[in-house]
Amino acid sequence: MKKSIIKGTGMFVPPNLVTNHDLEKIMDTSDEWIKQRTGIEQRYWIDGVTGSSDLGFEASKIALENAGWKPEDLDFIIFATLSPDIMFPGSGCLLQAKLGLNKTPALDIRQQCTGFLYGLATADAYIKSGLAHKILLVGGEVHSSGLDKSTRGRDVTVIFGDGAAAVCIEGVETKKEAGVLASVLHADGNLAGALMTELPASRLPVRMPPEIPFDDVRYYPVMDGSAIFKKAVRMLPKVINESLEKAKITLEQIDLIIPHQANMRINQALGQFLKLDETKICHNIQKYGNTTAASIPIALHEAMEQGRIGKSGDIVLFTGLGAGLTWGSVIYKFL
């Protein structure tokens, strides 16, 4: 049976480093305030005209090189983002063109912080069904151009960073237990208002109502931080256990948990709830902030580069919760 095997990864962040001290200069905040509430010390923001597909292209080149693939080898492209370059068409098609392709199908996934989880489950389904053999899965985000960089928007703005990561996934015939062992995905649209950007909105007669000023809060992301935190610490342990049961393995068999990097406090609370050793949870939010769909694959790439995972038999568990609300868990075993 074909298994979905990771053949290469890559990541890219723009060169413009923005520290907490830099943010102190443009809004009423402090390095201490940000670190205490989020664990973030810095993030990277674009400087100039750069879209999520541009960042994804740079990450994809690295992933393809690490996999030993050429763009022409790809059967399918999946692009996860909440910040597409333009309203339409999707960033997956824009990335496809940047890779020099003109026939390869491309799919955009708009699942925000769980975009990589939904994308990995989708890639696994395509491979196991025989619809694709070599898939490029990308998570890419440009948040900085859509943030309220004033004191009014500081609670959200200090959290987000720009970046992208890519994963090359191949269908490999093997009898070994490997690849995606289990995926569990959930959503609850009743909580959509807890984390959202409301405008521009196609449900309105005019997407950008002239009576609403362009600096209105509805043009920027808003978040009920308390509600998201409570939901995350309650639902993530549950979905992790669901995926463990589905994969028929125990938590002790997991070599590394890579959670979505939304808030260091959420990930620390998750570790405490599961009674895990700190070394078993991957944290890199302090360096990149929340890069949404890119956060899990960026952490995966770094963990593999550092040798924390990647050996035959290593098992990694991905999990996250975000806007939608959506949440999930995917367990992967290296071949």
Catalytic machinery residues: 113, 260, 290
Q: Are 141 and 52 spatial neighbours (Cβ–Cβ below 8 Å)?
A: yes
Strand partners, 315: 333
The structure tokens listed for 163 are 């970046």
- Under 8 Å between Cβ of 306 and 332: no
- Rounded CA separation 249/308 (Å): 20
Residue 221 CB partners (closer than 8 Å, separation 6+): 146, 147, 156, 160, 195, 196, 197
CA dist 108 → 83, 105, 120, 243 (Å): 11, 10, 13, 25
Omega of the bond leading into 200 within 30 degrees of 0 (cis): yes
Burial 256-292 (b: 16+ CB within 10 A, else e): bbbbbbbbbbbbebbbeebeeeeebbbbbbebbbbbb
Q: What is the dihedral of CA 18, 194, 221, 183, to 10 degrees?
A: 70
Q: What is the DSSP letter of 321?
A: E
